[in-house]
Structure 1
Amino acid sequence: MLSRGDLTDGEWAVLEPLLPVSNNRCGRWRNHRQVINGIIHRLGTGVQWRELPERFGPWKTVRKRHLLWSADGTWGGLLRHVRSAVDAEGGIDWNINVDSTITRAHQHAAGAPQTPPPAPSPAKGGRRRPVRRLPSIVMLHGLREGAVPKGEALGRSRGGLTTKIHIAAEGRCRPLSLLITPGQRADCTQFEPVMDKIHVPRAGRGRPRRTPDSVSADKAYSNRKIRAYLRKRGIRHAIPEKKDHKAARLRRGSHGGRSPGFDKDRYKDRNTVERAIGKLKQFRAVATRYDKRGYVYLGTVTAAALLIWLRS
């Protein structure tokens, strides 16, 4: 299964040249391969960090490395490189499909502080000890403002705390872009942000590819704004029209405009995004959110997507 097993020699050969060799504080990093294998184990099992088997080394090291790489965009950079290599070989099907899925948040995912904790008071006659904090996720490379909304991307509903993953998947059931929002956020409001996050660098010279050949989505994405966005970018689409939209258009007669084109055969391929979501949810740490911070959970989902690309 995609979510099981340590890195193979071939997978490690792809990742090793891209990983940092120094942490700029204490010299060289601890064995990256051992740490990544620990992260993979946690992704697949959803186990608590402190319950990691001893063969992965100190659990605090594995946890801190995942938090740091989620914050500084390392996971996103690795994913972009792997997609670029696949695209150079013509391995990406650019007929993409867009959808979303809701994940339940564990009770341990709630309660993240809204502001950084204040520095502790200095001991009597002593010096104030500095507090180590991760940089602001808004300013870090790879996590543009708006990538993780306020409130740590947690929403409340009858089912409790939920997070929604918005995904654009290529024709071979692999994620091209990912976005997380609170669970109650409407799908159509995130269509443009998901499309704008498609970014596949060229292996040689040239601008990164951002425009797919075609897009398919369900009726949740059927509105004039989305169709105008796709028409402006010259992207063919297969999005069925809602019944109430069709009735309103017909009531207006000639002023209602023409019916939007719809390719039934192209729409049949929309199942690829459902299968991509199924692959992501093979990872228990994705299917159930255990991370308090939104940027950490986004890093968890991105690391799972990286494994899907490496192992597909």
Structure 2
Amino acid sequence: MRISDAIIAALFLILGGQQAVWAQDVVNGRAPPIPPRPIPGIALPEPEDAPARAPGGATIAPSPSGPAAHTALPLVPFSSARDAIRAWMRDSSAGDQVGAVRALEYAASQGHLTAQFKLGRMYAGGEGVSTNDLKAFEYFSKIADENADAIPGTADGRIVGSAFVALGGYFIDGIKGSYVQPNADRAFDMFHYAASYFGDPEGQYNLGRLYMKGQGTRRDARQAARWMKLAAEKGHAPARAVFGDMLLRGGEGVPRQPVLGLMWLSLAREGADPGRESWIIERHDAAFAAASAPDRTAALALVERQQVAGSRSPER
């Protein structure tokens, strides 16, 4: 039986142009084309002064199940992303984790930046969902791809900067069994962009570590110290500890300044999490045990001066 032109025209109205073409192809016995799938993570901007790409470098292949495919599943209808966020807060408080995740997925599919970042963190840490580093990577990639020009210092800028840092961490180790392979050059790019454009202290710390190791870039102790200092001045405890240790040791273009080194280690110890950053406490205690009495006294005086200056800061 032949389908009339009127019925085909109705399909155009109901399904939309491209979908109706596929429907007509089915009617006429032709196989419909496969719709294109978005490729996450390949449009990330290159930071200035990044190392040149090696010929034949690996590229990121499309994933079979990125956030676009995940959020294409039927979602609970909400009137808006804001309505979905309210539902997420309500369901989270009520212990309804399934409803909370579904609400976040809806908000994320509508481009809500906080929802996308929250889902990325949840999948990365297995918070209320099964751990899935690839889904986390793809949510962070979507944030970075679509918001790389967010204004630094704003709430959105801080989220995007953190997404770049998360991507850098994934490129360091790769994701086992996925298309995300270890790529030190890309890790450098991610940390460099987070550190230089967004001024993210975690990005600055990680960039400093790459310069210390010569990973993704040439080894450069002075550059490492520069980025560690920037992060240390923002209160980043690990950066304070590493920068302090660099000043204690000196060498490779970094002048030895033991008093300043002890000061930074003391400040790092004050801000360290004993459960996760016990190495900072150990490094501080060892350094003070080996220091001379005059150096310890001078360092503690500088710490007190920093604390007084901090208490007078308008930001506090």
TM-score, normalization by structure 1 = 0.29
Q: Which has the larger radius of gyration?
A: 2
TM-score of the two chains, using structure 2 as the length reference: 0.29
The structure with the greater share of residues assigned to strand is: 1
| Between structures 1 and 2, the one with greater helix share | 2
